[in-house]
Amino acid sequence: MDQGTLEGIGTLLAMLAFIAVCVWAYSARNKARFDEAAMLPFADEEKADKEEGSNGDKTDDEDEPDDGDETADDDTAVDDETGRQTTENKVGKNL
């Protein structure tokens, strides 16, 4: 066997593998599984929407207007050395 024959066999095997993957990906048998996998990035959003809708309470303060009150929330502190405000994330708090 010379080099040209080996390259031809390699090309043929690569082409057959590509066709096999295309047939597998577009087969009707796998459609339901692939449709479910396509929705996985949105699963957390749907879960959060259900939780928010079930208790009816607002979980964040973004919708409330700022009244100009400069009092610090329970998760805001002032660094004594620099005088800057720092925010500490608490476990379980929705941001």
As beta bridge partners, residue 86 has 77
Query: What pLDDT is attached to residue 86?
Result: 63
pLDDT for 22-57, tens place per residue?
Answer: 999 999 999 999 999 999 988 887 677 777 766 655
Q: How many residues does the chain have?
A: 95
Query: What pLDDT is attached to residue 88?
Result: 58
Q: Backbone phi, then psi, for 91, in 5-degree steps? A: -65, 135
